[in-house]
Amino acid sequence: MHIAMIAGEYPPRWGGIGSVVFHLAGHLAASGNKVSIITRSHKDKPPEQSGVSVIEVPWLKLPMAFTRSYAKNALKALKNLHRKEVIDVVHIHLPLASFSRKEFRYIEQNIAPVCSSLHGSWLGEKQGVIRASKAKESATWRNPNDLAIRLTAKYYSKFERAGILESSISVANSQSTLSEFNNWYQPEDDFNCDVVLWGCDHKVFRPPNQDDEEEQLSHEKIRTMYDCGDELALSYQPNTQTPMILAVGRLVARKGYMTLLRAMPKILQQHPGTRLVIVGRGHMKKRLLKNAKKLGIEHALFIRSSMPFEALAQHFRSADLVVYPSYYEGQGLIPLESLASGTPVVTVDHAPLTEMVDQTVGDLFQSGDSNDLANSVCRILDSPKQRVDKAKAGRKRVLSKYTYDHNSDDFQRIYQSIIKN
């Protein structure tokens, strides 16, 4: 089977969509399929995978508008590819590619049946920005991308609606995303939509191997670097007096970092050796550091802009707890990567995060409520044995249904269903 994927994110442009497309493509190719990726051009070369070819196309470097320019150029590349090698199915990853209904129809009628993955929605992103603003998150209006989403989400939502109306099948990444599309876009009665929650790379994101000397040295370096390396922490003991909290994601308002910072004074009152490590790129770093100083927690905060994939995986393993306070996600992969690493997760008490996280693998708090967030964190830190149990349960949950092996099997079944029709 020759699968053409149209994905606005693909490594080296790592992100939620980029990560899942990369791993899904590799697993599909390993199953004997040919995979062609059509993605946005990047100054760095994409990583090579056997059986996967990558076609880069130009795009307009403007917030939101890039999705339309990229889609037009991706369609040209798709036509050229199909002339050279017959395509069996086209897998389009929304919302980062904005095709019109006419363009979807053309692909369906002249190239191959379309499977559209729904990675959340622009209207959902807009709601997330609005909720973040009401919760007084930092710099809501200062980020050009957030501002563009707030002002143009309604316009660009018509391209998402085109996808669900004209594709042979749509695949939502959570029950929450499916509900969003049903509520906002009111698809026709014959709307064909499956739900497949994305997995994570459970071989990269895995629990610690204390028998690996090099890995142990990396762990000790991380804990020492962030001033949370007592003897218990260095040997992965859950009753450490210097717990490390990790938060990963773009430094934008809707990720909820100010809520996390406001929770830290109470956390530090009960666990004074706690250190918070944030890993993410974005415009908010200076403002977060400034607010941390105002809150008197600057000594307990470390912000890293980026790091290699393996280093990030080690951070997940080295952390005692991961906090994910986001105001909106189509699914959210960070919690799964944490659970796969054997690290409990504290996240918001609304879908889709509640489809993956509950009290057996972490804890939930009321979105935007810093006091409730602090209570959730302290509940886990107060009970070392419970934290160990949650860590084991989280890893088990990921292996049971949130791996790319599961995703590959699911999508091959979905592709075959629309090819036969």
Note the Cα 198 to chain centre separation in Å: 9
Chain centroid to Cα 12, Å, comes to: 15
Cβ partners under 8 Å of residue 285, min gap 6: 251, 303, 305
Alpha carbons 262 and 295: distance in angstroms, whole number: 7
Domain with CATH 3.40.50.2000 in the chain: 2-199+403-420, 213-401
Q: Which of 231, 205, 241 is nearest to 384 (CA)?
A: 241
Residue 185's nearest CA partner among 287, 82, 96, 101 is 101
Q: What are the pLDDT tens digits along the chain (421 aa)?
A: 999 999 999 999 988 899 999 999 999 999 999 999 999 999 999 999 999 999 999 999 999 999 999 999 999 999 999 999 999 999 999 999 999 999 999 999 999 999 999 999 999 999 998 888 888 886 666 778 888 999 999 999 999 999 999 999 999 999 999 999 998 888 877 789 999 999 999 999 999 998 999 999 999 999 999 999 999 999 999 999 999 999 999 998 889 999 999 999 999 999 999 999 999 988 889 999 999 999 999 999 999 988 888 999 999 999 999 999 999 998 889 999 999 999 999 999 998 999 999 999 999 999 999 999 999 999 999 999 999 999 999 999 999 989 999 999 999 999 999 997 6
Burial class, 1, CB count within 10 angstroms (exposed 0-12 / middle 13-18 / buried 19+):
middle
Q: Are 51 and 1 in contact (CB under 8 A)?
A: no
Check: CB of residue 18 under 8 Å from CB of residue 8.
no
> pTM for this one?
0.92
**Fold of domain 213-401:** Rossmann fold (3.40.50)
Q: Which is it for the CA torsion 361, 364, 367, 370, positive or negative?
A: negative
**CATH architecture classification, 2-199+403-420:** 3-Layer(aba) Sandwich (3.40)
> What's the length of the chain?
421
Query: E strands along 100-215, which residues?
Result: 114-118, 169-172, 193-195
State how far the Cα of 123 lies from the Cα of 250, in Å rounded to an integer.
19
Residue 286 C-beta-side C-alpha neighbours within 13 Å: 2
Q: Cα angle vertex 278, ends 45, 17, to 5°?
A: 40
Indicate the burial class of 143 (C-beta count within 10 angstroms; 0-12, 13-18, 19 or more).
buried
Euclidean distance between CA atoms 190 and 102, whole angstroms: 19
Residue with tokens 């809707």: 254
